[in-house]
A = this chain, B = another copy of it.
Amino acid sequence: MAHINENRDALLGRIKRIAGQVGAVERALGGNANCTEVLHLVAAVRGAVNGLLDEIIVEHLEAHVARDGLSPEERQQGAEDLVTIIRRYSK
C-alpha cells in the first residue's frame, strides 16, 4: 500500500473532485439543465477519471514493479495487476 499511503491525500482530493463533478451531473439531470450541458459535464467526468486512472497506473508501476528491493514474486504480481487493467479497460 506504500504508494497509496504516500499519495493518499492527493488521490483523495482528486476523487472528491470527481465525486463533486458526478454530483453536478446528477443535479443537472434532476434539474432543467439542457442536454448540451449534461453532455459536457459527463465528458468532463470522463476526462478526470482517465487522468486519475493514469496516475494510479503510473504509481502502481513504480511502487509494485520497478521499485528496488521487491521480490521477483512481488514484481510479477504487480505486473499482472497492470496487465489485467490494460487488457480490460484500454481500447
Contacts and interface: CB of A to CB of B under 8 A. Distances in A.
Interface of A: 1, 3-4, 8, 11-12, 15-16, 18-19, 22-23, 25-26, 29-30, 32-36, 38-40, 42-43, 45-47, 49-50, 52-54, 56-66, 68, 72, 75-76, 78-79, 81-91
Contact of A26 (B15, B45, B75): B15
Contacts of A11: 29, 38
Given A22-B22, A38-B4, A39-B85, A61 B65 contact: yes
Contact of A42 (B38, B45, B52): B52
Contacts of A40: 84-85
19 contacts: A1-B34, A4-B38, A15-B22, A16-B26, A19-B26, A35-B56, A35-B81, A38-B56, A39-B60, A40-B85, A42-B56, A43-B89, A46-B50, A47-B91, A50-B90, A58-B86, A62-B83, A65-B75, A68-B72
